[in-house]
Amino acid sequence: MDERTRYFRRLKRLRGAARRWSVLGGGLTGAAVVLTPYAGIGIADAAWAAAAGGSVVLAWFRWSDHRVLAATPAPPPSLGSPKLTAALESFPAGRTVMQEVRRQRSRYALRGSGIVDAWDRLDRASQTMVGLAGRLTGPGEAALLEAATAEEWLRDLGQRVASVERAIPLTQSGQRDGLEQAHAGLTVQFTEGVTEYEKLVAAAASYVAEDGHPVADTRHPAYFGLIEATDRLRGFAEGLAELRTTEIRIPSDRAGSADTSR
């Protein structure tokens, strides 16, 4: 059983227990209120009152536990067993699927946070960098390593910002101001980091674009090779067409000698 299933089962049990104790406490309280005036206050009435009070208190505790657990975000979906994950990642399509599942799992942990938009921007920039990674050669390899390090730091920082943000409602009023200031500072740091990461990806794309241009001309040599091959094939085609359509003419002197012999 994964953590997510265990979380929802515990939440369901707490809700059921809170309802049962609420019903029991309400019934015992009503019985104590109705039965006490008939025979006066005695030992039985004290038992009724004690049972009613205990049930009400237990119901209040169960509802409090339920509210605290419900305010805690549910664990993200599990990725399955390690063997199944390794088997899926052995195929290119399965590797892509697992990467998407991990990405959605990380984003699920940030639901309701104020940095979701910046996190989505980081995901888009990261996917763009993955597409450019195979063409970043020479000086671009160092930038690729820097991008990987920065992305790991930004994702850890984003998870930290979301964790602090979830803890703010649970903090006492005297400590909430300091925690909110710390959260605001982390949020600004994360947002600015994502912006700089996007600039790095844009610079990498510019490098890839310029690296594909030749130094002496604005067009790649392969472009002129295509033009030459096209002209050459067109010339061959026209020559073959002329050979097919040209009539073979017999010289006039040979034609006259042929008539005399007849």
pLDDT in tens, 15-33: 888 888 888 878 777 777 7
Helix (H) or strand (E) holding 88: helix 82-89
Q: Rounded CA gap, 158 and 116, in Å? A: 9
Q: With a cut of 50, say whether residue 198 has pLDDT above it.
A: yes
Q: With a cut of 80, say whether residue 138 has pLDDT above it.
A: no
- Enter the pTM of the model: 0.52
**What percentage of the chain has pLDDT greater than the value 70?**
67
Tokens of 132: 């450019």
If DSSP codes are grouped into helix, strand and coil, which group holds residue 76?
coil
Q: What angle do CA 132, 90, 152 make, to 5 degrees?
A: 45
pLDDT of residue 26: 80
Confidence of residue 130 (pLDDT cuts 50, 70, 90): confident
Structural contact between residues 153 and 128, judged by C-beta atoms closer than 8 angstroms: no
Phi and psi dihedrals of 217, rounded to 5? -135, 165
Q: Rounded CA gap, 12 and 10, in Å? A: 5
Over residues 28-70, the pLDDT tens digits come to 777 777 666 665 666 666 776 777 778 888 888 888 887 787 7
Instruction: Label residue 40 left, alpha or beta by phi (over 0 means left) and psi (-120 to 50 means alpha).
Output: left
Helix (H) or strand (E) holding 166: helix 139-167
Confidence of residue 225 (pLDDT cuts 50, 70, 90): confident
Residues 6+ away with beta carbon under 8 Å from 151: 122, 126, 129, 197
Tokens of 161: 């910002």
- N- to C-terminal Cα distance for the chain? 108
CB hemisphere CA count around 250 (13 angstroms): 7
